[in-house]
A and B are shown apart, each in its own frame.
Chain A
């Protein structure tokens, strides 16, 4: 009986020991994870540094190389190493806005070198301007290498830890030393801002990013006019809503920052259970940029062919003439149809409109004309300089061709080229091969995947 008042303390003591063991194990596990994570970040950093060094080395070699083959080889090395560096950089545990400019630099280096190497392939060695740009890029890469080595030394001697991933840890670090990876990289960022704008044609180049839409027209449209346009458009869709649309709140930079500055309206009422309809009307020209009817379809019964016909009829009704159906996909009881503009029977693949059709009653559920409005303009199409047969001679001989026609396709960035389009089969797969109708260069090869949902191109 004399042990009776010892029971509770003993149980508690055991519980405490148990908790301690458990806690220690948790701590050990946590440490292991942290080490593993840190190791992989270390590796990432080593790789990043190596890639950037390789970019620098290859760039300096390009400046010396004098043959076409060497140039192309070295430039594609730069391209590969720069993309890999970018990829590694984007995985670093650092907030994006502190890396954005360095990432952009690496992406643009890769793309610029690609565009210069394409020139080389066409037999045009880098000109004075391009050489100067390359010298410049080399200097910036040199700087990047230096900063990375500096950082790397700090990480190696342990005064900087990359593994601080939780927000709490980062906060603590920020308060404690102000010398963490983030801050160092910010300083790097500041130096990366002022590298000169690279003039080239590629999707990442500044000129291409800032291009103004060509197909809008010039008339400025007021908000009230735009509202009328939206209401009229909805009537053309066959809807007779009495609802007045409300305009969605726009930010102060809409006119400067949006690709197509627009008024956005929503047709929504609380009374009936109608799903909302959204519609965007461009401030210049008053074009419908996009429309989305958020209705979910339960019993799809319309065939894809019928739906495509409806989509085509709708486009000509709202004033888009000469649109040719291209490919389609089907999902959630909706068919999405891609239409391309045709000029003199030549398909212009840059001027695209997508139309969504409900597969239950054939209602038009959506339209996306942004691509069309960005690219569409009256073109002076050149006469092909080589014949279809001559072009065909440039295509692999055992490519089993089904059809040939002329088409305009976008090259990298904004450039458009007139091509012969060969559709056919090769090795059991469907492909489209484009051959430049002026130079006879094989421009592009697309792989077509047809499945029960529609057509995909890769």
Chain B
């Protein structure tokens, strides 16, 4: 009995020290990460080391870019998201843009291939990707400065807006989502605010959905369409730059705003 007790205690000590070490180790890594970051900006002591890591990373990326990428059942990641999004846009796919190549994505890819005279295999290789207007890994590489549509688009902005809408106005009627997106764009055009979509959305303290991380949720197709509508000019707020929910707004300042219209639960004003 005595031995069992001792054994248990020894085991537990081992387990706890292992857990402790794990966390300790992690935090050590974190420190290194920041050190490296400083080095690459050029003011660290062991600069050469940092630069080396940087070069190595770049080489690895370059090597990756040279191989044509193929997406198939079970693939995950941003490229899959891009494919899903394109298919969603063109009406071949109507499920979540989640970056997971599953049955629905597979079927949608097959439908797309059939419609476009491609080999119907449910695999996104270079040809299907090109037909989708996507270029994996080699964006911009080897293109002249004048040509090439693959490098320039507003898709990133639209996707960011859709995420902001999804985080900020998920439960709102469709028009309320367009309105929130319109507010972002009205801010971009106003001197009192930053001048790009990303800097308006990520401005500290501007949107609660950004502060609490809800902006990182996957946007649904309604948010995407609302983002596009707003980018194309639709503005149900008639030029407003602020909105708030009277039930939850805590800032006294917001009540001094002038009010223009109520859409869903939000008041819009200037």
Contact = CB atoms under 8 A, between A and B. Distances in A.
Interface of A: 1, 3-4, 6-7, 10-11, 14-15, 17-18, 21-22, 25-26, 28-29, 32, 36, 83, 86-87, 90-97, 100-101, 103-104, 107-108, 111, 165, 203-204, 209, 248-254, 256-262, 264, 266, 275-276, 278, 280, 289-290, 292, 294, 296-300, 329, 331-334, 336, 352, 354, 366, 368, 370-371, 426-429, 447, 449-453, 456, 458
A3 B31 contact: no
Nearest to B231: A329
B5 A28 contact: no
A264 B261 contact: yes
Interface stretch (B66-74, B98-106, B118-126, B149-157): B149-157
5 contacts: A22-B19, A87-B195, A94-B204, A107-B191, A258-B240
B259 A292 contact: no
Contacts of B175: 266, 276, 278, 292, 294
Contact of A253 (B2, B174, B253, B270): B270
Contacts of A250: 260-262
Given A250-B262, A257-B260, A354-B234, 6 more contacts: A1-B1, A103-B193, A251-B259, A300-B90, A331-B225, A332-B221
B181 to A, nearest CB: 13
Interface in B1-56: 1-2, 5, 8-9, 12-13, 16, 19-20, 23-24, 26-27, 30-31, 34
B91 A300 contact: yes
Contacts of A449: 149, 152-153
A334 B91 CA distance: 10
A427 B225 contact: no
B236 A25 contact: no
A447 B55 CA distance: 34
Contacts of B221: 296, 332
Contacts of B26: 25, 29
A395 to B, nearest CB: 15
Contact of A90 (B8, B30, B144, B193): B193
Contacts of B23: 21-22, 25-26
Given A252-B259, A366-B229, A458-B152, A259 B205 contact: no
B58 interface: no
B234 A368 contact: yes
Name A's interface SS: mixed
Contact of B173 (A86, A103, A249, A276): A276
A428 B9 contact: no
Interface string B242-270: 00000000000100001111110001111
A451 B260 contact: no
**Closest A-B pairs by Cβ, 10 of them:** A251-B259, A427-B146, A428-B147, A429-B146, A253-B258, A258-B238, A259-B239, A107-B191, A204-B191, A25-B23
A429 B143 CA distance: 11
Nearest to B143: A428
Contacts of A90: 193-194, 199, 203
B261 A251 contact: yes
Given A258-B239, A300-B91, A100 B192 contact: yes
Interface residues of B, number: 72
A103 B194 contact: yes
A18 B233 contact: no
Given A28-B27, A332-B228, A91 B9 contact: no
Interface string B107-120: 00000000000000
Nearest to B269: A251
A96 B251 CA distance: 12
A294 B174 contact: yes
Contacts of A332: 88-89, 91, 221, 224-225, 228
A21 B16 contact: yes
A254 B16 contact: no
B234 A258 contact: no
A21 B20 contact: yes
Interface of B: 1-2, 5, 8-9, 12-13, 16, 19-20, 23-24, 26-27, 30-31, 34, 88-91, 94, 133, 144-149, 152-154, 173-175, 178, 189-195, 199, 203-206, 221, 224-225, 228-229, 232-236, 238-240, 253, 258-263, 267-270
B108 to A, nearest CB: 13
Contacts of B263: 248
A341 to B, nearest CB: 15
A256 B168 CA distance: 27
A91 B204 contact: yes
B267 to A, nearest CB: 7
A133 to B, nearest CB: 16
A279 B152 CA distance: 34
Nearest to B147: A428
A290 B237 CA distance: 11
A289 B192 CA distance: 26
A354 B260 contact: no
A230 B94 CA distance: 33
Contact of B19 (A18, A204, A426): A18
Contacts of B189: 203
Q: Among A104, A257, A298, A333, which residue has the most Cβ atoms of chain B within 10 A?
A: A257
A32 B235 CA distance: 44
Nearest to B199: A90
A190 B16 CA distance: 56
A252 B262 CA distance: 11
A97 B253 contact: yes
Given A96-B206, A298-B91, A449-B149, A14 B233 contact: no
Contact of B147 (A25, A95, A429, A452): A429
A254 B23 CA distance: 57
Nearest to A109: B191
B93 to A, nearest CB: 11
A91 B229 CA distance: 28
Contact of B238 (A32, A260, A366, A427): A260
A61 B238 CA distance: 42
Nearest to A289: B238
Contact of B199 (A22, A36, A91): A91
Contact of B16 (A17, A25, A87, A104): A17
A86 B173 CA distance: 35
Nearest to A3: B5
